Amino acid sequence: MQQKSPQDAPITEQIKDLFAALRIVHEETNFDELKKIGGAFATSYRIPTYELTYKAPGRLRVEGKAGPLSALLIYVGNTKTYKIGMLKKTEDVQNNPGQKQSLMDVGIFAKDWLTTDYQAIFQRREGALLVYKLIQRNTNNKSHELVWLNPKTFITEKRLSYNSESELQKEIRYVKARELKPGIFLPSRVEIYNQFGKLGAVQTVESARINVGVPESLFSL
């Protein structure tokens, strides 16, 4: 098996900041199928719309609202802060990549987390796509993922998540990529399937802005 370091893998460094508004397509969402992935995972998809803001390196803000309830997650390096209603808590998630969200959650194979949290091990080619195994760095957690990467768009068109017993947990497909700026692509549709291959949810990117300048103040509470 040929192996490549994350530095050799086709990762994008063009995105300095990003803002995206996402919507859950409820007519294509099946919570019974989502719950087979996990109850907490399914609950997160009950928030109909949310906004994602990113700034390099390694800063991410996710904010959503469901009626009167609001939820806010902020990641700065290895620090995770969340606020749900009146509850606020900060956690150290160093050596726990599974507790982080990143640009990879919207399908972008970005440098930040691939050089700090995950090691990308080249597996094979499938047509125009490159298949990588992502293993977690600096931890004994054996959970891992397989991703099918388009080297021209830096989009993971398919992502399979496995637990520490190598059992499939879910599949995510990032489709209908749009070129927002020369050489910078973003999927416009994300499909989540459970471990039995059943569609559980769909989210769409309603709007996006890239490299327009994001204030540092957004990443503090």
Specify the pLDDT at position 97. 82
Stated as kind and residue range, the H or E segment containing 42 is helix 39-44
Specify the pLDDT at position 74. 95
The model scores a pTM over 0.85: yes
Extract the runs of DSSP E, i.e. beta strands, from 143-198.
144-150, 155-162, 168-181, 184-194
Task: Output the CA–CA distances (angstroms, integers) from residue 146 to 4, 117, 121, 123, in the order listed.
Answer: 15, 15, 9, 9
Stated as kind and residue range, the H or E segment containing 99 is none
Task: Output the CA–CA distances (angstroms, integers) from residue 39 to 8, 94, 143, in the order listed.
Answer: 37, 25, 19
Per-residue pLDDT of the chain (221 residues; tens, 9 = 90+): 344 443 467 788 889 999 999 999 999 999 999 999 987 788 888 889 999 999 999 899 999 987 777 889 999 988 999 998 888 999 998 888 878 888 989 999 888 888 888 999 999 999 999 999 999 988 888 999 999 999 999 999 999 999 999 999 999 999 999 999 999 999 999 999 999 999 999 999 999 999 999 999 999 87
pLDDT tens column, 131-186: 999 999 888 889 999 999 999 999 999 999 999 999 999 999 999 999 999 999 99
Tokens 């997160």, located at residue: 44
